[in-house]
């Protein structure tokens, strides 16, 4: 049996890409705030007062992961939960002043990190690359039964 060429496997390449991102994130952005936590802060800067489920949808995190991320950010004093006046069962999320300052600081650092991360590509290639991985990521979020999502054989 011959070895498989993993350079043709998107999952393998995505894992390697994630490893590189994780390394850059920890060295250039933050060892305390994770990339998913930053995504939540960013979502709440863009749309203050979202509920937990909606924030999870905006940043592509499942229910259990978003719950843990929200809990950690709350314990760090970066966001507050307030009861929705129209639905007392629902909590709305807002950044604290410290959360807003943290987001601002990390935004500058993420911009620099992204420059380094994408440096091997020309400006045009960066645009194409980001479009392609966004399309694959968006499509992957919609997968429930992967076999049903496969195109019909030609």
128-140: pLDDT as tens digits: 999 999 999 888 8
- Is residue 84 very low, low, confident or very high in pLDDT (cuts 50, 70, 90)? confident
92 Cβ contact list (under 8 Å, min separation 6): 49, 50, 51, 81, 82, 83, 84
Range(s) of the domain holding residue 107: 30-140
Q: Is residue 134 part of a domain?
A: yes
Q: Is residue 100 part of a domain?
A: yes
Q: Is residue 75 part of a domain?
A: yes
Q: Is residue 47 part of a domain?
A: yes
Residues 117 and 20: beta-carbon distance below 8 Å: yes
Per-residue pLDDT, 148:
58
Give how many domains the chain has, as a whole number: 1
Q: Is residue 152 part of a domain?
A: no
139 Cβ contact list (under 8 Å, min separation 6): 149
In this predicted structure, the answer to whether residue 146 has a pLDDT above a threshold of 80 is: no
Higher-pLDDT residue of 68 and 154 is 68
In this predicted structure, the answer to whether residue 154 has a pLDDT above a threshold of 60 is: no
**Residue 56 and residue 43: Cα distance in Å, rounded?**
9
Q: Is residue 8 part of a domain?
A: no
Identify the CATH number of the domain in which residue 100 sits.
Answer: 1.10.10.10
Per-residue pLDDT, 143:
73
pLDDT digits (tens, 9 = 90+) for 30-80: 999 999 999 999 999 999 999 999 999 999 999 999 999 999 999 999 999
Q: Is residue 101 part of a domain?
A: yes
- Is residue 22 very low, low, confident or very high in pLDDT (cuts 50, 70, 90)? very high
């Amino acid at each position: 049996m011959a070895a498989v060429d993993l350079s043709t496997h998107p999952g393998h390449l995505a894992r390697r890409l994630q490893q590189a991102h994780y390394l850059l994130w920890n060295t250039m952005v933050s060892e305390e705030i994770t990339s998913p936590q930053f995504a939540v802060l960013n979502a709440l800067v863009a749309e203050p007062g979202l509920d937990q489920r909606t924030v999870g949808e905006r940043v592509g995190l499942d229910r259990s992961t978003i719950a843990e991320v929200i809990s950690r950010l709350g314990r760090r004093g970066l966001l507050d939960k307030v009861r929705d006046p129209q639905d007392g069962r629902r909590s709305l999320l807002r950044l604290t002043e410290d959360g807003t300052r943290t987001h601002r600081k990390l935004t500058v650092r993420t911009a620099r990190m992204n420059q380094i991360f994408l440096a091997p590509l020309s400006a045009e290639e960066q645009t194409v690359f980001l479009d392609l991985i966004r399309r694959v990521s968006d499509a992957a979020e919609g997968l429930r039964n992967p076999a049903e999502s496969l195109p019909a054989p030609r």
